[in-house]
Amino acid sequence: MARWPFRREPGPGEFHGDPTEGIREEFRLYLELRTEELTAEGMEPEEARREAERRFGDPEVFARKMRNESSVGVDSLGGGGMMGQLVQDLAYAARSFRRSPGFTAVAVATLAVALAGNTAIFSVLDAAVLRALPFPEHDRLVFVNGYHLRDGERAIRMASVPEFRDWKARSRAVRPMAAVDLNSVTISGDGGAERAYLEVVGEDYFALLGGSTSVGRTFTADEYAMPDGFPVVVLSNELWQTRFSGAADVLGRTLEVNGRVVSVVGVMSADFHGVNLETDLWAPLGMISLVGRSDFLESRGTRFLGVIGRLAPGLTPEDAEREMDGVAVELQGMYPDTHEDRYAEVLSFRDGYLGTTARLLWILFGAGALLLVIASANVANLLLVRANARGRELVVRRAVGADSARLWRQLVTESLALALVSGVVGLMLAGWALRIMTRLVPEGVLPAYAEPSLSPRVFLFTLGVLALVGVIAGMAPAVSSARRDLATALRSGGRGMAGGGARTQQWFVVTQVGLALLLLVGAALLTRSFQAQLSVDPGLELDGVHAFVVVPPRERYPDAESLRLFTDDIVQGVAEVPGVSDVVASSDLPFRGGSSGAFVAREDDIENPIRYHRHSVTPGYLETLGVGLIEGRVLEESDEATSPGVVVVTKAFVDRVFPEAASGVGRRIWAGNPADPDNLAEIVGVVENVRYRNLTQDMMDGPNSPDVFFSSRQRPMRGMNVVYRVVGDGVQAGPAVRRAVASIDPQIALYDMATLRALYDDQTATPRFAAFLMGIFSALALTLASVGVYGVLAFAVGQRGQEIAVRRALGAQAGDVARSVVFEGVRLVAFGLVLGGVAAYFAADLLEALLFNVVPNDPMTFVSTAAIMLVVAVVAAAVPAWRATRKAPVEALLGD
């Protein structure tokens, strides 16, 4: 261009592309020339240099502004429209994040972790609690559970067939009703023996659950009704595939169920797994003899059926239960023998499947949400501090006419961009978190239909949460900057968060501390509950005990004598395996369930029977399990089928049945119908109480329904647990044990191999899971809250640098300064703790159903968690406090 009187020189940094190089050189030249000017006016060179620098101002600020202006300035060129602005805002946000990687990393990591946790929990909650159950009109499906009310306890939940018919005929609220009996059976025939779940079902069952066949048909009215008339089954899709390779000509083919030959009449569609969610095959109620006896169909007192039904439109389970109360009273009048104290409860499918799991999941979800709030507060705080550092820029830009909506948009865009990046990272972490979580969730906590996954629903949820977090976290600095006017901002030198901002920050910290306390209290309560469960003495020697289950089929082992022989054979066969010792068998095993409840009475008082748990065991069983003998003797080989009936009972039994007696040995009881003299048995020994069924509930259950051990020779068992100790590594004994069983009867399936320790661990798995997850959440919350406390104090110290310097200059000791900073922190935290404590006091009640031996509002827990928070807060305050004392007075004054 002709107007330039000289040629272009190469600029500094032009070749290696550093734009700041040129800026610095410009500044340098200015300062040199200015110094020369001042020197020429008579100043000393050094003084002149300082004066030049003073008048110039902070070069860093200007350099930064020049780089910033390069992007923000663009909009003055009219770079068009909303989209254009959005792109600019995003670009600006990206640049500003790149410039402060530390801030960005903290914010992204914090949010991402909280989001990952939330997403994982939501996917579990969604799968188990929110999503539709795999049945049509699932909201109206209910379980109808009969029960006896004895000693304030609900017992014997199943229904007998005649009872079910009476319910079905009388109920208007629940119709249709259908009966189903779940059994674990051995199926054999071509393809070897295996365990399978068989549902013996009544009419309307398939229609009620919306089950349809893909091949063949379900059952006919005759098949349902005729006892032992039609040995037919319907297969699940899986069993059809595994056992018949999905053969099209499966209809009419046969297999054996518990040794009885049955033929296939249909295959269910792939999405149907029965009301028990894992059923392999179905038989009509008429074929109850596959698992029991045909006369069960007429016996009013033989209760084994589960009952399901559909609520009439508009009715709730409570409505139906009220109706069932009326039915119960009517039946009590008609059949006083079998219906005394007999009622029925009506539970929605959802409640039936989930029990307390729903509450647990909601609580964990709530905990995750609180964690997210705490994390968001931190991000908002960080944004606030940053916005404040740019406070003057923002205020001035508004003052010179920058559209204030535009500034808001930019702040929110920035935090949304942050949230978005966190979201991407969070979702990547979520897959991982979900895998960990599903591994942590103990077996049986989630119903089988619940398969948590990162589904589109979960994705949408996370996206929604993200948007919310982004907008809210971005609003905070926007609101706070909007509140400040030009004059205030300028007066405070552009650094102060006069009023609004600082107050907002403090509220964030108070909220964080309060919420963190809430989570800590929850975690502490669940942990204490877990510890309480661990400290329960099961009364057993858990280690080294292995067990498996076999069920000799009725066809080949029809009577008591054959069962006795089988038991002897199997105990002897397993005992021959090297490394195996102390082999015994029992009708059931601690923590595995399966003991049958029955009623027992004192010999001298048959009018008041009590419920008890019956165990048939081989001699040596109590020794193998390490149950301590208190008095008398244990069961022995000499207690033969033909010798007088003997039992060993727990101490709880004696306390309950013979409260007046010092000793139970020698007492006699009716263990069964007093009409049969064989049912009279003498107590020969008393053992320590055993946590047999459930580690925690036996507390209440024990005295009400104590345990009685019979000799398996006198009370033979069909399904049995074979229990043994293994010297050394038990895993290696497994195959040899299987071979030993196969050599006795190759048609028998051996299943549920486990150690007693593993069964015990399952007992504490849910509380461990709950305590562990809450522990992680609260640890994260504590960390985030302390970061918040640290942040606000560090900022305050930075703000008050001048004040602190003046006070120091006026003689305040370092200790005084540090104390005042720490005090400021403690003040905030204490306020948060009070609010959080009040909230926790009420929220703790939500946990009650999940707690064992811990009261929700346990003062110890509250005090100790609050103390932890306070200590952490003081530590978090210590760093800024120390920094405040390090500020040299003069330096601080000049720095301002």
Partner 1 sequence: MRHFGCARRTTFMSGAPIGTVPFLFDSAARGSDMSGSNLFTGTLDILVLRSVESEPLHGYAIGRTLRDGSEGVLAVEEGALYPALHRLERRGLLESRWGKTETGRRAKFYLATDLGLAHLKTEHLRWSRYADAVSGILGTAES
Q: Which residues contribute to the site for partner 1 (CB under 8 A)?
A: 1, 3-12, 22-23, 25-27, 29-30, 32-34, 37, 41, 51, 55-59, 62, 65-66, 69-70, 72-77, 392, 396-397, 399-402, 486-487, 490-491, 493-494
- Cβ closest to partner 1, residue 86 vs residue 487: 487
Return d(Cα 690, Cα 283) in angstroms, integer: 37
Query: Min. distance of Cβ 55 from partner 1 in angstroms?
Result: 5
- Cβ closest to partner 1, residue 27 vs residue 831: 27
Tell me the torsion sign for CA atoms 182, 184, 189, 190: positive
Q: 586's torsion region: left (phi>0), alpha (psi -120 to 50) or beta?
A: beta
- Cβ closest to partner 1, residue 486 vs residue 699: 486
- Cβ closest to partner 1, residue 89 vs residue 588: 89
Beta strand segments in 556-640, E: 580-586, 596-602, 605-617, 629-632
**Cα→Cα distances 109→337, 378, 419, 422, 654, Å:** 67, 11, 10, 7, 61
Burial 277-308 (b: 16+ CB within 10 A, else e): eebbbbbbbbbbbbbbeeebbeebebbbbbbb
- Cβ closest to partner 1, residue 492 vs residue 747: 492
Residue 486 identity: L
Return d(Cα 188, Cα 552) in angstroms, integer: 12
Report the 10 Å Cβ neighbour count for 87: 12
Query: Min. distance of Cβ 14 from partner 1 in angstroms?
Result: 8
Residue with tokens 């985030």: 784
Query: Min. distance of Cβ 65 from partner 1 in angstroms?
Result: 4
The alpha-carbon radius of gyration of the chain (Å, integer) is 38
Rounded to 10 degrees, the C-alpha dihedral 486/487/490/493 comes to -130
Structure tokens belonging to residue 785: 């809250």
Rounded to 10 degrees, the C-alpha dihedral 556/558/564/568 comes to 10
Query: Min. distance of Cβ 398 from partner 1 in angstroms?
Result: 9
Return d(Cα 711, Cα 716) in angstroms, integer: 8
- Cβ closest to partner 1, residue 397 vs residue 757: 397
Query: Min. distance of Cβ 13 from partner 1 in angstroms?
Result: 11
Return d(Cα 812, Cα 821) in angstroms, integer: 13
Give, as one character, the DSSP assignment of residue 496: -
Q: Name which of 201, 199, 208 is nearest 142 in CA terms.
A: 208
Structure tokens belonging to residue 827: 């003040």
- Cβ closest to partner 1, residue 10 vs residue 677: 10
- Cβ closest to partner 1, residue 299 vs residue 488: 488
Structure tokens belonging to residue 187: 């199926």
Query: Min. distance of Cβ 501 from partner 1 in angstroms?
Result: 19
Residue 326 belongs to what H/E stretch? Answer: helix 317-334
**Cα→Cα distances 834→254, 797, 837, Å:** 71, 25, 5
**Cα→Cα distances 514→209, 508, 837, 846, 891, Å:** 47, 10, 7, 17, 37
Beta strand segments in 174-287, E: 174-188, 194-201, 213-216, 232-235, 254-257, 260-268, 281-284
Query: Min. distance of Cβ 483 from partner 1 in angstroms?
Result: 16
- Cβ closest to partner 1, residue 51 vs residue 688: 51
The three-state secondary structure class of 492 is coil
Q: Name which of 616, 697, 711, 707 is nearest 664 in CA terms.
A: 707
Query: Min. distance of Cβ 361 from partner 1 in angstroms?
Result: 52
- Cβ closest to partner 1, residue 62 vs residue 658: 62
Give Cα 666 to chain centroid, integer Å. 49
Strand 751-755, strand 605-617: pairing: unpaired
Query: Min. distance of Cβ 502 from partner 1 in angstroms?
Result: 20
- Cβ closest to partner 1, residue 482 vs residue 742: 482
Structure tokens belonging to residue 536: 């329960």
Query: Min. distance of Cβ 877 from partner 1 in angstroms?
Result: 32
Query: Min. distance of Cβ 26 from partner 1 in angstroms?
Result: 5
Structure tokens belonging to residue 102: 């530390």
- Cβ closest to partner 1, residue 49 vs residue 554: 49
Report the 10 Å Cβ neighbour count for 685: 20
- Cβ closest to partner 1, residue 30 vs residue 823: 30
Query: Min. distance of Cβ 397 from partner 1 in angstroms?
Result: 5
Contact 327, 175 (CB under 8 A): no
Query: Min. distance of Cβ 86 from partner 1 in angstroms?
Result: 18
Query: Min. distance of Cβ 100 from partner 1 in angstroms?
Result: 20
Query: Min. distance of Cβ 400 from partner 1 in angstroms?
Result: 5
- Cβ closest to partner 1, residue 499 vs residue 597: 499
Return d(Cα 823, Cα 878) in angstroms, integer: 10
- Cβ closest to partner 1, residue 11 vs residue 735: 11
- Cβ closest to partner 1, residue 74 vs residue 479: 74
Beta bridge partners of 186: 195
Residue 797 belongs to what H/E stretch? Answer: helix 765-799
Query: Min. distance of Cβ 34 from partner 1 in angstroms?
Result: 7
